[in-house]
Structure 1
Amino acid sequence: MQNHEQAIRVIASPGISVTSPIAMYVGLDERNPNRYITNMSHSGLGLPEREYYRRTDGVFPGLREQYVAHMGRTLELVGQTGGAAKAAAVMAFETQIAERHWVRADRRDRSRTYNLKTRAEIRALAPSFPWDAAFEASGLGGAQEVVISELSAMGPLAELFMATPIDTIKAYLSYHLVRNNASVLPSNIDAEIFDFHGRVLNGQPQQRERWKRAVAAVNGSLGEAVGQVYVQRHFPPAAKAQMLELVENMRTAYGQRIDALSWMSAETKVAAREKLATFRPKIGYPDRWRDYSALEVRAGDAFGNSKRAQIFDWEESVSRLDRPTDKDEWFMTPQTVNAYYNPVFNEIVFPAAILQPPFFDPNADPAVNYGGIGGVIGHEMGHGFDDQGAKSDAQGVLRDWWNAEDVRRFEEVTGRLADQYSAFEPLPGLPINGRLTLGENIGDNGGLQVAYHAYAISRGGREAQVIDGVTGDQRFFLGWAQVWRTLFREEALRNQVLNGPHSPGMYRANGPVRNMDAWYAAFDVTAEDDLYLPPDQRVTIW
């Protein structure tokens, strides 16, 4: 590698797995749900987030020193000399990358992160940068349009790359190549990478057992093949039928609550109702499983298997550019304990693994299920109407469809919610960023409100049973609380607060309920209790 164009070709080559300041991938076109498109975003940091390079208080200066020392040791472990000096140069380079990155909260704004550009317009961002080499080496040579996320950062990052000495680029790529492949490299290298990224950054005292890491590797490369086995063993058809019924009760509740909103105009309610009606629920697992027959797996070749899996995934991703979008595709495997809302397809997706206790139990008391998985369903539905999801219409097109006055009133009420969460301080001097976490907090706030409404619908006018002295409403809220039971090490909590769009679990449990009158009545909460909010400060969005 003698020059910057050669470096770019290495970075862009499938299967190399290195970090770089500018990343490209294939995704859905947010303004045209029927096509895939090449996307470009800033990247390139070894520490979790830009503030790790910028902050001078608390633990941050010490973390930077440890990072430099760790990079130096890593480079020398793979046979390079002068590791300390190279690591210092890499750190200076990454610091300059961080200075050009957008603030994390700004990257949530879908109106700002959709910037459709032609290849000619991309070349003009930084004429000296070998853009065409990057496209060709990655197999994207035929792509003529690209959506850029952080447009104002692309030119400066490209210019920084070209202005950085090639020896620094080589050291930077060497470190990140090792880091990204450490799990399939010799154990002394893997141990060094874990010591910093696992122990120092996340507070993990030791690596997981080798067999667990092996399972994770198979799960990452052959996820839907593993998912088929999981579904056969753990997700009976009756559970799927019960979930579909629960989703429809949630849809009914959302519609009734939209109709009753005082802050939304009649014209926007019509459009919101249309969007709600077209929500597509996907429950448990895909109807068509992914075909892995073209992926070669060789016994005894962990590194090669990892590389071939990366190439397999990338080539399949690139091939999508030549065909219409597949609306039956899943973007999580069935064995993932999570859920998502996809605004481009206007769908809510619940993998089989989240449809297990404590989230969902087909044999459990309905109050607990509505408080658990009902709140999660409501959360994902709520993403269709949060501050970013609401920017896509019923067909999944990113456009303005709200009345302007409705937007103003919505921002007023959600701003109050953001202020509530910004007052939470998980660590001294490190409060939650209420703007960064706003979309997820809106989802929790509205989702639990709607789940409570749907629970009432499910009873058909009947009073809830009192079981072992616990009322239906109490069981509902306990169902919500138990799905967010959380243990954090300080290091991991710091990463979550600085970088994650979700509030930590304890605030997801307590933040929504203190805005619900029913919770106060269920547990006799008074002004003497820590979580009490006066009625005029409680936020109801949906």
Structure 2
Amino acid sequence: MRRSLLLSSLLAGSALLGACATTGAADPAAVAEQTQVVGQAATGPVSAASTGKPQIGTFGFDEAGMDRTIAPGDDFYGFANGTWEKTTPIPADKSNFGMFTVLEDLSRSRTREILDGVRTDANSKIGVAYATYLDQASIDAKGLAPIQPWLGKIKALSGKAGYAALAAEASVNGIEGPFGGYVGPDDKHPDVYALNLSQSGLGLPDRDYYLSTDAKMVETRNAYVAHVAKMFTLAGEPNAQARAAAILAYETSIAKAHWTRVESRNADKTYNKLTLAQLQKQGPGFDFPTYFKGMGATVDTVIVAQPSAVAGIAKAIAAAPVSVLKDQMLVRSLDQYAGVLPKAFDQESFAFYGTTLSGTPEQQQRWERAVDFTSDALGDEVSQVYVAKYFPPETKAAADALVRNVTEAMGRRIDQLEWMAPETKQKARAKLAAFTPKIGYPDKWKDYSNLQIRAGDALGNAIRAANWAHADNFSKLGRPIQKWEWYMTPMTVNAYANPVMNEIVFPAAILQPPFFDPNADPAVNYGGIGAVIGHEISHHFDDQGRKYDANGSLTDWWTPEDVTRFEQRTAALVRQYDAYEPLPGLHVKGALTLGENIADLAGLTVAWDAYQHALGGKPAGVVDGYTGEQRFYLGWAQVWRRSYREANLRQRLLTDPHSPSQQRAWVVRNLDPWYEGFKPAPGSKLYLAPDARVRIW
């Protein structure tokens, strides 16, 4: 769906907690408490308030999942989660499985109940959308007839002159093209919307998949060509293998122009405001004015994220035969809408993108994908019912209080910093005071009255939903900033920080166990959701978020000395994560994951301070044999329970700005209270001498 593509673009400058679009289901043999939560989900709101008992364990932590044969100083993740990992298989329809996926399945099951209740109601848009997507038999019976008009338009393209207009139409229809375009606040003028343009054009996840000589990457490229050829064959197209090979060659030329992901996360380097004339001069091989006009944007300037890459892509387009440009768009269309095409297309698309790239053996059930489609296409309409049923006011109030506590703790940390100049501290405090926390759900809902959803027209519904999302985004040009807008639905198990809006956002679905339980021990809550809150707050002060001021403007507000001292500390964190090797020969990329690693470190630091402040000077006490420090850090480790299939972990190490879960749990090695709680011996694998521990916030 286009809305998913658009969300990725809109959040490109934001920082997410890191669920990373996972999906999952609980395993009853290994996670008894969590499974009980999932099992109860369909009957009503999950709330332990009626019993006064935490939903997980005796104090909010699943002790049965621990492996006490592992020393916490050698592998804190394994100590807290080792038995869970050994006894919890990854479900066949998952590329990875953990606490995020447990809650995602819970959210999906709840949403299914909502949609099942209206699936026969001809007057319910969400019911019609859901029921129509579910009807695979009807989709199969129609064959390719519904998409043939669009495929015919692609095939009718006779020369390069019409390519830009067709690429724009494809983008409006939700089909990824050579560039990514979206409307968002101007980073240097956050009170106005601007048109943004970024590199795109690849069918594989990243430039490395095309350029690396690693045997696994070569194997993946061969599988990609086979997949493209299969899609051509299914569509009745001749010369499938040769045409697929030509697409790979074309995309390889694009990949050579792409910036790396490390380069693309630099907020200063990716802000390049160009006039249309300047852009056209840099990329003469592509008709940008026609492209923007076709997307519905009448502008004089555009903010280009990767100018040399955009110019390189335009050059690749100019050099490519028009037949290859048409073929790429044709295959991209079939893959984008495979879920609402005959089953053979759906199965082949999943076989490559699901199994080959992520290692997932089986596709999700049709109802799960129908729920996801409906939630994507009509998110706010589904959300209104969801929050009314599953997000009680008392949970929102408790979360509001936690956010206030952690935000105040961040303020105290700023005041105590030794490395930051007083004048910068004052501005940092002003930025913190200007924060907008968003908890649970939006204050305003989007209106879908002009989105047509038709029974029996699954492809049409998908394309019209993409059109609606595109129009909704591009209609913002020239209008006041919509500060009420959310970039995630309340059903999403994640959180994000948006530096341009100076906001932190916590959807309803993450505000439940194991992240947050009003009846759990406060130490576990502060180590779980408290650290998540601190994580998102601190993103506004990480290596990129710090570049935005209290108004959300990308500007230089630190002294040069502040920057130097900050970068000395962050460089040490880069080196620490560079040393981790989750797969043989594949290390964590410390520079790519820096922002998230800073946020994990700062989030735990600030959450610990907030927890101590909440105790009001009283000792935390011992609960079931665990001290306050131990319960706090066990709460952190528990939320990062996650197992990966090798292909999925490989892809993440190449593309994901988040470190793998095991390494995220290991961030505790930099925190003095963790040493006080678990007493790791010098020489332990995670042990760091006090002067070697990275201390930032």
TM-score, normalised with respect to structure 2 = 0.76
> 1:154 Cα deviation (Å)?
1.6
**What residue number does 1:529 align with?**
684
For 1:383-402, what aligned pairs fall within 5 Å after superposition? Answer: 383-402=539-558
**What residue number does 1:30 align with?**
187
**What residue number does 2:412 align with?**
256
**What residue number does 2:204 align with?**
47
**What residue number does 1:195 align with?**
351
- Is residue 173–residue 464 contact of structure 2 (8 Å, CA) maintained in 1? no
State the SS of the aligned residue for 2:446: coil
> 1:128 Cα deviation (Å)?
4.2
- Is residue 174–residue 467 contact of structure 2 (8 Å, CA) maintained in 1? no
- Is residue 5–residue 133 contact of structure 1 (8 Å, CA) maintained in 2? no
Find the aligned partners of 2:172 and 2:454 in 1 and give their Cα distance: 16
**What residue number does 1:350 align with?**
506
Among 573, 577, 580, the alignment partner of 1:421 is 577
Among 324, 339, 362, the alignment partner of 2:495 is 339
**What residue number does 2:238 align with?**
81
**What residue number does 1:61 align with?**
218
Map Cα deviations across residues 156-198 of structure 1 (whole Å, 9 max, x no partner): 2112101110111111111111111111110001111111111
Among 481, 497, 501, the alignment partner of 2:653 is 497
Of residues 444-453 and 238-247 in structure 1, the stretch that sits farther from structure 2 once superposed is 238-247
State the SS of the aligned residue for 1:399: coil
> 1:15 Cα deviation (Å)?
4.2
Find the aligned partners of 1:170 and 1:317 in 2 and give their Cα distance: 27
Find the aligned partners of 1:482 and 1:87 in 2 and give their Cα distance: 45
- Is residue 275–residue 300 contact of structure 2 (8 Å, CA) maintained in 1? yes
- Is residue 493–residue 507 contact of structure 2 (8 Å, CA) maintained in 1? yes
The residue type paired with residue 234 of structure 1 is: Y
- Is residue 221–residue 309 contact of structure 1 (8 Å, CA) maintained in 2? yes
> 1:7 Cα deviation (Å)?
2.1
Q: Which runs of 4+ in 1 moved over 4 A?
A: none
Among 488, 502, 521, the alignment partner of 1:365 is 521
Structure number with higher relative contact order (C-alpha < 8 Å, ≥ 6 residues apart): 2
2:283 matches 1:126: yes
- Is residue 346–residue 384 contact of structure 1 (8 Å, CA) maintained in 2? yes
> 1:393 Cα deviation (Å)?
0.2
Find the aligned partners of 1:341 and 1:100 in 2 and give their Cα distance: 30
> 1:247 Cα deviation (Å)?
1.2
- Is residue 334–residue 353 contact of structure 1 (8 Å, CA) maintained in 2? yes
Find the aligned partners of 2:575 and 2:310 in 1 and give their Cα distance: 32
- Is residue 172–residue 295 contact of structure 2 (8 Å, CA) maintained in 1? no
**Length, aligned pairs only:** 540
- Is residue 520–residue 526 contact of structure 1 (8 Å, CA) maintained in 2? no
Among 499, 512, 516, the alignment partner of 2:671 is 516
**What residue number does 1:109 align with?**
266
**What residue number does 1:182 align with?**
338
Find the aligned partners of 1:289 and 1:364 in 2 and give their Cα distance: 32
**What residue number does 2:67 align with?**
none
Find the aligned partners of 2:689 and 2:389 in 1 and give their Cα distance: 48
- Is residue 201–residue 251 contact of structure 2 (8 Å, CA) maintained in 1? yes
Of residues 109-118 and 25-34 in structure 1, the stretch that sits farther from structure 2 once superposed is 25-34
State the SS of the aligned residue for 2:230: helix
Which structure 2 segments of 5+ residues have no match? Answer: 1-156
Find the aligned partners of 2:160 and 2:661 in 1 and give their Cα distance: 44
- Is residue 35–residue 325 contact of structure 1 (8 Å, CA) maintained in 2? yes
2:694 matches 1:539: yes
- Is residue 164–residue 286 contact of structure 2 (8 Å, CA) maintained in 1? no
The residue type paired with residue 191 of structure 1 is: Q
Find the aligned partners of 1:459 and 1:216 in 2 and give their Cα distance: 42
- Is residue 23–residue 43 contact of structure 1 (8 Å, CA) maintained in 2? yes
2:459 matches 1:303: yes
Among 76, 90, 96, the alignment partner of 2:253 is 96
**What residue number does 2:438 align with?**
282
Find the aligned partners of 1:411 and 1:89 in 2 and give their Cα distance: 44
- Is residue 115–residue 147 contact of structure 1 (8 Å, CA) maintained in 2? yes
Map Cα deviations across residues 93-112 of structure 1 (whole Å, 9 max, x no partner): 01010000001101010000
The residue type paired with residue 321 of structure 2 is: P
- Percent identity over the alignment? 50
- Is residue 11–residue 17 contact of structure 1 (8 Å, CA) maintained in 2? no
The residue type paired with residue 245 of structure 1 is: A
The residue type paired with residue 204 of structure 1 is: T
> 1:35 Cα deviation (Å)?
1.1
Find the aligned partners of 1:128 and 1:221 in 2 and give their Cα distance: 34
Find the aligned partners of 2:371 and 2:172 in 1 and give their Cα distance: 21
Find the aligned partners of 1:105 and 1:126 in 2 and give their Cα distance: 23
**What residue number does 2:322 align with?**
166
The residue type paired with residue 318 of structure 1 is: F
**What residue number does 1:241 align with?**
397
**What residue number does 1:447 align with?**
603
Map Cα deviations across residues 359-413 of structure 1 (whole Å, 9 max, x no partner): 1112221111100000000000111100000000001010000000100110000
State the SS of the aligned residue for 2:198: strand
Find the aligned partners of 2:675 and 2:587 in 1 and give their Cα distance: 26
- Is residue 30–residue 396 contact of structure 1 (8 Å, CA) maintained in 2? yes
Task: Give the superposed CA RMSD.
Answer: 1.1
State the SS of the aligned residue for 1:362: coil
State the SS of the aligned residue for 1:414: helix
Find the aligned partners of 2:310 and 2:543 in 1 and give their Cα distance: 26
Of residues 234-243 and 99-108 in structure 1, the stretch that sits farther from structure 2 once superposed is 234-243
**What residue number does 1:457 align with?**
613
State the SS of the aligned residue for 1:487: strand
2:188 matches 1:5: no
Find the aligned partners of 1:105 and 1:129 in 2 and give their Cα distance: 26
> 1:450 Cα deviation (Å)?
0.6
> 1:18 Cα deviation (Å)?
2.7
- Is residue 393–residue 399 contact of structure 1 (8 Å, CA) maintained in 2? yes
The residue type paired with residue 437 of structure 2 is: P
